[in-house]
Structure 1
Amino acid sequence: MQMIMFKMSDEYYLISAKSVEEIIDTVPITYVPLAPNWVKGLINLRGNVMTVIGLSELIGIPSPEKCMNILIMKNEENEEERKGLLIEEVSEVVDINEEDIELPPEKSDQTSYVGVVSFEDKVANVVNVSKMIFEENTAKA
């Protein structure tokens, strides 16, 4: 399966490419008062306004100094719904075999972490944030 590898605060993460419609450079984000801390704000992408969610706040990791990319995530259950996921930087697209994903014991209780994949020079956490950002409680933000 194809996965997008990206960096967040000196750690690597993988997310399924099938849930990502496109990757864009960070654009100006309009702050939304009284929104939860993981909602970074709204963007206008080619005439479509969408919510941008901060990955670091969503899964509880340290925030990077600068975020350079937004992953445009698509809701697999509702083709019309899109949300942006603010990340530090995309590094590459990789092909992963499902049997290469190992469950990390220290993070196995967190629903956002699916497992880890070991590469020759690094280890990447596999995250499943698609369901989290399109759940009922986040959809109203």
Structure 2
Amino acid sequence: MQMILFKMSQHFYLIPAASVEEVIETLRITEVPLAPKWVKGLINLRGSVLTVAGLSELLGIEEPAESMNILVMKNNDERKGLLIEEVVKVVDVTPDDIQLEETSKKKYYSGMVSVKDKVANIVDVKQAIF
């Protein structure tokens, strides 16, 4: 299966490419008063208003100095944006490549994969933002 490898604060993460509709450069995000901390705000993407979630807040990791990309995620008819630091590349991952850590307390991770000289956590996006 194809997965999108991206970087957040010097760490690497993977998301299944099938759940990503498109990757865009960061647009102007309009803040929403009284929204949960993980909601960065709203964007206007070609006439559609999308909620943008901050992955660093969802995962409890350090916020990157600059977020250059938004992953437009889809789940059935629902679409949301996921603010990330930078997409690195698309990689092919086989089920045998995925290592599961059953004792993990990280509720949004579904495993990890070694990609060349990097180790990347697989993020369960549907559980995280939908």
Normalising by structure 2, we get a TM-score of 0.95
Misfit runs of 4+, over 2 Å: none
Q: Is 1:60 aligned with 2:57?
A: no
Q: What corresponds to 2:41 in structure 1? A: 41
Cα distance in structure 2, aligned partners of 1:41 and 1:123: 30
Question: SS state of the match for residue 125, structure 1?
Answer: strand
Cα distance in structure 1, aligned partners of 2:20 and 2:3: 9
Cα distance in structure 2, aligned partners of 1:25 and 1:120: 26
Q: Is 1:130 aligned with 2:122?
A: no
| TM-aligned CA deviation for residue 59 of structure 1 | 1.3
For 1:4-23, list aligned pairs within 5 A.
Answer: 4-23=4-23
Cα distance in structure 1, aligned partners of 2:18 and 2:116: 25
After superposition, give the CA deviation of every residue in 1:102-137 in whole Å (9 maximum; x if it has no partner). 12466x232211111112211111111223211xxx
Question: SS state of the match for residue 132, structure 1?
Answer: helix
In the alignment, residue 89 of structure 1 is paired with which amino acid? E
Aligned pair partner of 1:111 in 86, 91, 107: 107
Q: Paired residues, what number?
A: 130
Identity %: 65
Question: SS state of the match for residue 37, structure 2?
Answer: coil
Q: What corresponds to 1:99 in structure 2? A: 96
39-48 or 111-120: which moved more?
A: 111-120
Q: What corresponds to 1:138 in structure 2? A: none
Normalising by structure 1, we get a TM-score of 0.88
* Higher-strand-fraction structure: 2
30-39 or 112-121: which moved more?
A: 112-121
After superposition, give the CA deviation of every residue in 1:35-89 in whole Å (9 maximum; x if it has no partner). 00000000000000010000000111111000000000001xx32x100000000
